[in-house]
Structure formats: C-alpha cells, structure tokens
Amino acid sequence: MITVFGQSQDSLMLRKIYNESLEHGQAYNYLKVLCKQIGHRLSGSPEAEKAVKWAEKSMKDFGADTVFLQNIMVPHWVRGEKESASIISSKNNQSTPLNVLALGGSVGTNGKTIAANVVEVTSLDELDKLGTSKCAGKIVFINQHMDATKIMTFDAYGPAVTIRWAGAKRAAPLGAVAVIIRSVNPSLDDFPHTGTLHYPDTIKKIPACAVSTNDAEKLSAMLKSDPQLKIKLKMNCMQLPDAPSHNVSGEIKGADANAGYLIVGGHLDSWDTGEGAHDDGAGVVQAMEVLNLLKKAGIKPRHTIRAVAFMNEENGGKGGEYYAKNALEKNEKHIAAIESDCGGFTPRGFFLQGDSLKKEKIRSWKNLFESYQIHSFNFDGGGADIGHLKNQNTFLLGLLPDTQRYFDIHHSPNDVFEHVNRRELQLGAATMAAMIYLIDKYGLE
C-alpha cells in the first residue's frame, strides 16, 4: 500500500520525469539520426549493423553505465532489385503499372516474369472454398479489409494480418502461382505494406506481395469489368544464409545486486521500406530515454534497469529469443519488462500480462497517471520481444499509445520520421520511465 505521503512524493517524481522528457528529452533528436542517417535496417543488412553501432554509442549518451552486445544469428532476406508488376487488359492488351511490395521472406520469381489470370477473394475462407479448380495456374488476390469498427486498431490487425502470414501457404496447395494481398491498412492510400509470411516446409513456396489499399480497390474494379485480365509479376527477392547480428543493451546498475532486473525495450531492426520511425525506432529511443530520465530525476534504482534494443523482431524474433535464453542461463532474475512497439504516439496506458495480483498492484497506481491522460490498464498483452521472458515469471507490460494512425504507417514507405511528433514520443518515454520508477520502488509482490 502506498501512503498518502508516498503518493504525494510519487506525484512529484512523476512530474519531474515528465517535465524533463518534455523540456529536455533527446529521444526525438536521436530518432532523427537513426531515421535520416541510417534509414531502414532489415536484419542482416549493412544498415542494421550501422544501427547496432549507433545504439551502442547512444546508450552511453543516455547515461548507461554499462553497454554490451549479444551475438546472434538472424535470417537474412533481401528484396533485390525493386519488384515490378502490371495489369494487362484481355481486351486490348493495354498495360497498367501496379505498385507491388514483396512480403518479407517471400521467394522471388526466379528471374522470370509470371503472367497469369487473377482470382479475387475477400478472405482465406473464401479462398479455401474456391478450391483447385478455380485457383490452379492463377494469381490469387486476397482483398480482405481491416475491420474499421474496432476502436483499438490492433484488434482489427490480428484477423486481417492472417492474409499476409498465411495467404501463400493457403493458396499454394490449390495450385496458385502467386499471391497478392490488400495491404493491412484501414486507410485508403497509395502505400503498399510489407511484413512477414510463413512457408511450412511441406508446401510449395509461391511469391507473395502486397498492393496499397487504393490499388486493391482499382484492381478489384478492373477485375469486375475484365475478369480475364492478367497480371505480370517479377520479384527478385531471396533468402540468403543467416547473418551475424546483435542485441544492444545499456544498463544502470541497481543498488541491490539481488533485486533483479527491470528492462525496457524496443526493436532496432525494421522492414526495408520507409525509415522504421514508428516501427520501431520510436521504441528504441524511448527505452534509451528511460535511462536518462531516471538519472536526471535523481533516482538511484534498487533493481538494475536495462534498456534493450532487440534485433530481428520483424522476421524471426531471434533477438528476443536469445535474450530470454541468455537471461535464464545467467540466472538474471527479470522482475518486469516493458516493450514499446506500437508506435510513438500519445501514450494512453499499458498492456499488462502476468499474475493477476501484480496487475492489480499496477492498477493501484492508475491515479498517479491520470494527470498525464493515461487511463488504459485493462488490455492484455506484452510484446513480441519480451514475450520470450514470460516463462521466467517476468511481468510483461506493453506501452499502449493511441492506435488510430499506426496501421497507416506500419511496414510501409510511409513510416518516416516526419510522422513522429516530438511531444507524443517524449510523453511515451516519460510514461515508461514513470512505470519503471514505481515498479522499482514498490516491487510487484
């Protein structure tokens, strides 16, 4: 229980943390460097390794007393020369260019151009029902919309993203030659969105790519007036052998060596389009900023506070996996982990995952956050990278920002620094630091 005196001390401390972040925080400036000087940074790319070096140096700038790398091997997929596609009219052979973006992990077209008729479905269930007779030799176009009625856009993402993850493996057994999906984006715009797909070993790997929501509308309309149109598609992507890479951690040593660890993290890798600004440069710089904010507020933590920049969240999760394995081997007791990987928008609360008494303890601090318009502590969840710690009795938290704009940006050329607002980003960093301060002070037992 927190006494009235404790509450008032805590409110003053939160005020200090938020003021520092809003007035002098550097997360935004560091994000600019990551986005503009390095840019996108898919696992295994030279840019990803530049980002590792940048993170190593930046952790020190933000006040880590120890910075270390963990060596991991990551999947290494490359897009190769930009994909090309066009729609060919069956009536007059006229060609209309189509802007496609290969899905991460997709095979290419083996140096050839595929040309095939197109069958449109609006869901994977509809695809299954079509069967081989309707799909063999064709390009399957999965034109499924995100459900606009979900207030939390992540609730609409789950059902929609299965077309990206499973479209190719569901279409291949039906004899389809390629898959084109409508981007997982609730808005109508011209940006195609990539993201990872899954090929089981037992199934033929067919190429898969995404078109923007506007292009999905256009293609659907063209198919209605010309069902015999063809699409020509060339994709040059391929999977290379796994490459060496790194997680980067920076920490402030705790006063009590036995108290264990509290970690805050985001992922350093991004898709190879846009600048990985919201996804997840934002999470990385917020995690680093937490170290700085605790120091500037004069907090001497009992637990060791560690900021982790995970590698390979997007297409393998090897960084998070290794981190958890290593923590177990070293017997590093992880009390709690906070991940920021939902964009650097205005913070609204936390996803919580773990023991229900611990959830209640965190919710007992709600009133401290209300002055910062942070109200949501009821959603379940943690994060993909910290998720691997779940079996180590670690309580998981995900920073929950406003979600309305996230899927306009996610995995697309639209995820650029210009779409990050400094105040929103710095408020998120402060919110994570405030939560770390409270968990450090009161524990979760």
The residues annotated with a catalytic role in the active site are: 313
109 makes contact with a second copy (CB under 8 A) = no
Of residues 234, 246, 295, 348, which one binds a second copy by CB under 8 A?
A: 348
321 makes contact with a second copy (CB under 8 A) = no
Length of the chain in terms of residues written:
445
Site for a second copy in 225-264 (CB under 8 A): none
What is the helix (H) or strand (E) element at residue 310, kind and residue range?
A: strand 304-310
Structure tokens at 401: 């920002």
Of residues 151, 200, 329, 391, which one binds a second copy by CB under 8 A?
A: 151
Interface map 327-346 toward a second copy (x if CB under 8 A): -------------------x
Distance between CA atoms of residues 343 and 437, nearest Å: 22
Distance between CA atoms of residues 263 and 64, nearest Å: 13
Question: Of 148 and 257, which has the nearer Cβ to a second copy?
Answer: 148
What is the helix (H) or strand (E) element at residue 116, kind and residue range?
A: strand 114-121
22 makes contact with a second copy (CB under 8 A) = yes
Question: Of 385 and 408, which has the nearer Cβ to a second copy?
Answer: 408
What is the helix (H) or strand (E) element at residue 263, kind and residue range?
A: strand 261-267
Of residues 44, 104, 186, 250, which one binds a second copy by CB under 8 A?
A: 186
Interface segment toward a second copy; rule CB under 8 A; list 174-182, 217-225, 356-364, 402-410: 402-410
Residues 6+ apart with CB under 8 A from 98: 85, 86, 87, 211, 215, 219, 231
Distance between CA atoms of residues 411 and 399, nearest Å: 19
Torsion angle in degrees (nearest 10) through CA of 132, 133, 135, 136: 80
Of residues 161, 206, 297, 427, which one binds a second copy by CB under 8 A?
A: 427
Structure tokens at 411: 């995995």
Interface segment toward a second copy; rule CB under 8 A; list 73-81, 118-126, 335-343, 416-424: 416-424
Of residues 70, 86, 220, 376, which one binds a second copy by CB under 8 A?
A: 376
Q: CB 422 → a second copy: shortest distance, Å?
A: 6
Distance between CA atoms of residues 291 and 369, nearest Å: 19
214 makes contact with a second copy (CB under 8 A) = no
Total site size for a second copy, rule CB under 8 A? 27
Backbone angles phi and psi of 265, in degrees to 5:
-150, 165
In 119-212, which ranges are continuous DSSP H helix?
A: 124-135, 153-171
Question: Of 234 and 296, which has the nearer Cβ to a second copy?
Answer: 296
Interface segment toward a second copy; rule CB under 8 A; list 63-71, 90-98, 151-159, 168-176: 151-159
422 makes contact with a second copy (CB under 8 A) = yes
Question: Of 146 and 309, which has the nearer Cβ to a second copy?
Answer: 146
Distance between CA atoms of residues 397 and 405, nearest Å: 21
94 makes contact with a second copy (CB under 8 A) = no
404 makes contact with a second copy (CB under 8 A) = yes
Question: Of 151 and 257, which has the nearer Cβ to a second copy?
Answer: 151
Question: Of 13 and 107, which has the nearer Cβ to a second copy?
Answer: 13
Distance between CA atoms of residues 438 and 363, nearest Å: 11
In 136-270, which ranges are continuous DSSP H helix?
A: 153-171, 213-225
Interface segment toward a second copy; rule CB under 8 A; list 147-155, 210-218, 261-269, 388-396: 147-155
Question: Of 312 and 346, which has the nearer Cβ to a second copy?
Answer: 346
Distance between CA atoms of residues 276 and 42, nearest Å: 9
Interface segment toward a second copy; rule CB under 8 A; list 146-154, 248-256, 269-277, 331-339: 146-154
32 makes contact with a second copy (CB under 8 A) = no
Cβ neighbourhood burial of 133 (10 Å; 0-12, 13-18, 19+): exposed
Question: Of 151 and 357, which has the nearer Cβ to a second copy?
Answer: 151
Q: Write out the DSSP string of 24-38.
A: H--HHHHHHHIIIII
Decide: helix, strand or coil at residue 416: coil
Cβ neighbourhood burial of 240 (10 Å; 0-12, 13-18, 19+): exposed
217 makes contact with a second copy (CB under 8 A) = no
Q: CB 22 → a second copy: shortest distance, Å?
A: 4
Of residues 11, 90, 373, 393, which one binds a second copy by CB under 8 A?
A: 373
Sheet containing strand 84-88, edge to edge, reads 95-97, 84-88, 230-234, 114-121, 139-142, 178-182, 208-211, 100-102
Interface segment toward a second copy; rule CB under 8 A; list 4-12, 88-96, 367-375, 381-389: 367-375
Of residues 153, 213, 286, 353, which one binds a second copy by CB under 8 A?
A: 153
The binding site for a second copy (CB under 8 A) comprises: 18-19, 22-23, 148-149, 151-153, 186-187, 346, 348, 371-373, 375-376, 402, 404-405, 408, 421-424, 427
